[in-house]
């Protein structure tokens, strides 16, 4: 009997200490949950076309939608089932975890697709939302904010998930992603705010405006080329003196850079001799079964700005982790500043390679051979 009493007393003391510890560190709860969501996605996310990864993200969206509906029903005076009432005080934590997981996955996926061009703007928006999510716990009960976040998350997910399903990347699929996210978002909030006292319109109007504004804003970013062309991604690229396809991979020749530029594995600057050809090699990732044309746009800097000299299109096929590889060649090149933009047929920029062409000193620097597997 004494042992049992001591055991219960000790258990009560432990619970009390844990409770006091949680109370003292309550302000760090959001950070812990947010970090847990990011760590979980960092460990589990692999490829943008991985069905397990996408199922996890889809589950997050469904769970957030269900919690939003229950939360809004509570705001409208509709009590949920008793078992839901016991756990609803944890709803903000669950939503914060799910939003953290979604934004961290978008940061990972869109970073892989974003080039160091204007598309970095959308990537920075995701980073701000990802970090800002940590401060949203007390605000996640506000319908307007929830409507904007939920529509944005749905749109961002469907923008790369639907191309995987339909095995195509074009404006029609993007529009479908936008309309689907718009309809689902309005449906979720319309159900959650539904009442029989005529207050539905007053409560729904600001939320609908926020959702529609999000829909329009993302479309504007897309049409001014500020959104990375997910699920496509430029895996690697370089300028070479020679590129040739072999059974073992792509054989390349280039002038080895100085040792302090150890990360460079291609010609920059390109030491040019009359009659030489410049090769641009790229590897573009696309989901399996996706076949889409891409092109190399060669441009030279002049006193009037960048002047296009060539637009060379070739087809890519998806499925390879390292990306579908291809190259184009430019003859009759002149000294100066050059760049090659890698873009889709619709003009969505995947990446850009900047390099400088200079006349080679005598003798020509030795060329280094390598094999890109």
Q: Is 228 part of any domain?
A: no
Q: What is the CATH number of the domain that holds 260?
A: 2.60.40.1930
Q: Is 32 part of any domain?
A: yes
Between CA 129 and CA 121 the distance in angstroms is 13
Phi-psi label, residue 96: left if phi above 0, alpha if psi -120 to 50, beta otherwise: alpha
268, 316 Cβ separation under 8 angstroms: no
- Give yes or no: residues 21 and 155 share one domain: yes
Of 337, 372, 373, which Cα lies nearest the Cα of 352?
Answer: 337
Residues facing 339 on adjacent strands = 299, 354
Between CA 160 and CA 231 the distance in angstroms is 5
Q: Where are the alpha helices (DSSP H) in 138-170?
A: 143-166
What is the pLDDT tens value at each position of the chain, 373 positions in all?
555 544 555 555 554 555 555 555 555 555 566 566 556 665 666 678 888 888 989 999 999 999 888 888 776 666 666 766 677 777 778 887 888 788 778 777 776 665 555 556 665 676 666 555 555 545 555 788 888 889 988 999 999 999 989 988 888 999 999 999 999 999 999 888 877 666 777 788 889 999 999 999 899 888 888 777 888 888 889 999 999 999 888 999 999 888 888 888 899 899 998 888 999 999 888 887 788 889 999 999 998 899 999 999 888 776 677 778 889 999 988 899 999 999 988 888 888 899 999 998 888 889 999 999 8
Query: Could you give the 3-state DSSP secondary structure of residue 343?
Result: strand
- Give yes or no: residues 161 and 282 share one domain: no
- Give yes or no: residues 64 and 213 share one domain: yes
Q: Is 9 part of any domain?
A: yes
Please state the domain count of the chain: 2
Q: Is 109 part of any domain?
A: yes
Of 298, 283, 279, which Cα lies nearest the Cα of 240?
Answer: 279
- Give yes or no: residues 237 and 217 share one domain: no
Distances (CA, A) of 74 to 78, 84, 195, 199: 5, 11, 11, 14
Between CA 264 and CA 266 the distance in angstroms is 6
Rounded to two decimals, the pTM is 0.74
- Enter the tokens of residue 155: 């749109």
Between CA 298 and CA 147 the distance in angstroms is 43
For 368, the domain range is 233-372
Residue 44: what are its φ and ψ, rounded to 5°? -100, -30
- Give yes or no: residues 116 and 212 share one domain: yes
Of the candidates 223, 252, 272, which is a domain's last residue?
223
Between CA 54 and CA 164 the distance in angstroms is 10
Distances (CA, A) of 301 to 53, 59, 71, 115, 282: 43, 49, 57, 20, 22
- Give yes or no: residues 166 and 254 share one domain: no
């Amino acid at each position: 009997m004494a042992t049992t009493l001591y055991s219960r007393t000790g258990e009560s003391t432990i619970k009390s200490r844990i409770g006091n510890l949680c109370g003292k560190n309550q302000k760090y709860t959001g950070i812990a949950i947010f970090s847990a969501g990011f760590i979980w996605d960092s460990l589990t996310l692999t490829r943008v076309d991985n069905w397990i990864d996408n199922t996890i993200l889809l589950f997050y969206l469904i769970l957030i939608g269900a919690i939003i509906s229950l939360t809004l029903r509570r705001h409208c005076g509709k009590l949920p089932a008793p078992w839901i009432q016991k756990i609803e005080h944890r709803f903000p934590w669950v939503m914060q975890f799910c939003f953290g997981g979604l934004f961290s996955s978008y940061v990972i996926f869109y970073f892989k697709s974003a080039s160091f061009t204007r598309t970095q703007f959308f990537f920075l928006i995701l980073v701000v939302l990802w970090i800002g999510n940590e401060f949203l716990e007390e605000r996640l009960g506000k319908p307007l904010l929830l409507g904007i976040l939920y529509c944005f998350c749905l749109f961002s997910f469907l923008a790369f998930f639907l191309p995987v399903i339909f095995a195509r990347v074009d404006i029609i699929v993007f529009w479908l992603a936008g309309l689907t996210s718009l309809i689902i978002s309005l449906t979720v909030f319309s159900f959650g705010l539904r009442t029989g006292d005529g207050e539905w319109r007053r409560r729904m109007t600001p939320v609908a405006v926020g959702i529609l504004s999000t829909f329009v804003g993302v479309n504007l970013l897309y049409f001014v080329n500020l959104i990375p062309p997910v699920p496509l991604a430029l895996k690697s690229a370089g300028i070479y003196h020679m590129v040739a396809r072999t059974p073992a991979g792509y054989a390349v020749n280039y002038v080895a850079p100085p040792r302090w530029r150890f990360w460079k594995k291609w010609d920059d600057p390109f030491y040019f001799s009359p009659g030489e050809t410049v090769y641009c090699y790229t590897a573009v990732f696309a989901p399996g079964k996706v076949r889409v044309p891409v092109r190399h746009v060669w441009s030279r800097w002049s006193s009037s700005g960048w002047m296009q000299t060539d637009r060379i299109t070739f087809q890519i096929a998806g499925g390879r982790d390292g990306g579908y590889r291809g190259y184009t060649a430019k003859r009759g090149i002149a000294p100066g500043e050059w760049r090659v933009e890698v873009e889709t047929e619709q003009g969505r920029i995947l990446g850009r390679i900047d390099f400088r062409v200079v006349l080679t000193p005598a003798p020509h620097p030795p060329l280094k051979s390598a094999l890109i597997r």
